[in-house]
Structure 1
């Protein structure tokens, strides 16, 4: 008598780990690390590819930030076409994103999330025993960008305003984003007297390196024990529309409470 032990899990994958995790584990990959949607466009196309050796069933939807959303519960003024499709091995699929035209702020970007759920195919006959199936869900940022925003998005990261502040019995770097763009950061370090102090590792999914328009965030520096007595600066890396890493440097004023 054979015992069938078949389990199904849903594994969530963030945009930051997209290229590594999907290439290593899932069959379907997304071309790109983010989606830029100019608000005046009728649609934008995202390309998916099945790198695996078996067909893949894929379901897609967009949400407004609810990471626990499903295709049935998600809320967003964008839709996907087709919402459900099958990709044969080593083939590609063009996924169309369409904006409904629902009124959104015209003076800054709006952030939404594209969800791509890869459902594993049924096990081949005779290969169903003691099998674990993984359904991979990837969430990718979608920046809906209004027309005629001031200055180029490439200049947004250099306009961040930094200062060093006392924070939780230690110190933190505080960043203010005065621009109408979301600024994505990959790394943050304080340099003083030849020493480098990196920000604390992320403690949760909400502790991200994304600064929305007008946002203020604090990044703890756990190894910095006292206010620097010599001039200090912050070095940080931003992520461009195309996923490229760009280095920046900014002088810091003295510590504040």
Structure 2
């Protein structure tokens, strides 16, 4: 899809930026993640143009940054004009290709907001902003969420300590922030997620390397974008 790449015209240069950067998207998504339940096999993403000009919007799904893997979803529409103050829903339909039935599968939903071409003379920089959120396929019959995360402190490849979290649940766990406390100090371990039946690593600052165990407070993000702080013990690996 051509609009995923930088476009260069005779009167303007269109650069692609992430919505998490300094440039703010005019087209705002109404959710932070989309869940596709296997029983329904579809979901809807709603967005609104909060800017003062119309935008050209493109939406697509991928299996990860740079992945060429085919994805089992069809979006309707995928390319459309969205006027100022207007809203649009994009329908996301699961096409039925086999996916794991005992755990969630993570995909990524992208929305590219392309501004109108400048009518001013001379070369102008136009910025296309991409919003990127999680798209989760959730099979039927998964057990209730429980306390399925185990945290440990381990040595990283660079010699610095890392927090490693093991997820034995069938759900993707999303963290808005992770704080490690040891020796009367607090260390920021960033944010991120861990996939079902896998582990994830979060690097700690160099000054945390002298502490081999401690406590963790992580802020978990739920299906609706709500947050809840939880505490755990991180033992030495």
Q: TM-score with structure 1 length normalisation?
A: 0.80
Structure 2 gaps of 5+ residues are 1-9
- CA distance in structure 2 between the aligned counterparts of 1:68 and 1:134, rounded to whole angstroms: 21
Shift of 1:54: 1.1
SS at match of 1:186: strand
What is the match of residue 227 of structure 1?
Answer: 211
SS at match of 1:252: strand
Shift of 1:78: 0.5
Moved over 4 A (4+): none
Match of 2:14 among 8, 21, 24: 8
Asked whether the equivalents of residues 61 and 74 of structure 1 are also in contact (C-alpha less than 8 Å), the reply is: no
What is the match of residue 174 of structure 1?
Answer: 164
Aligned residues: 226
- CA distance in structure 1 between the aligned counterparts of 2:61 and 2:49, rounded to whole angstroms: 21
- CA distance in structure 2 between the aligned counterparts of 1:240 and 1:6, rounded to whole angstroms: 41
Q: In the TM superposition, what whole-angstrom CA distance separates every residue of 1:117-173 from its partner, at most 9, and x where no partner exists? A: 12221223xx13231111222221100100110113xx4xx4210112233433222
Structure 1 gaps of 5+ residues are 202-207
Q: In the TM superposition, what whole-angstrom CA distance separates every residue of 1:167-205 from its partner, at most 9, and x where no partner exists? A: 343322221000101111122222224221222x5xxxx
Shift in CA distance, 129/68, structure 1 to aligned 2, threshold 3 Å:
farther
Shift in CA distance, 129/48, structure 1 to aligned 2, threshold 3 Å:
same
Asked whether the equivalents of residues 62 and 74 of structure 1 are also in contact (C-alpha less than 8 Å), the reply is: no
- CA distance in structure 1 between the aligned counterparts of 2:37 and 2:81, rounded to whole angstroms: 28
What is the match of residue 4 of structure 2?
Answer: none
Shift of 1:6: 1.9
Match of 2:154 among 151, 165, 168: 165
Q: TM-score with structure 2 length normalisation?
A: 0.86
- CA distance in structure 1 between the aligned counterparts of 2:26 and 2:155, rounded to whole angstroms: 46
What is the match of residue 205 of structure 1?
Answer: none
Match of 1:138 among 131, 138, 147: 131
SS at match of 1:223: helix
Over aligned residue pairs, what C-alpha RMSD do you find? 2.2
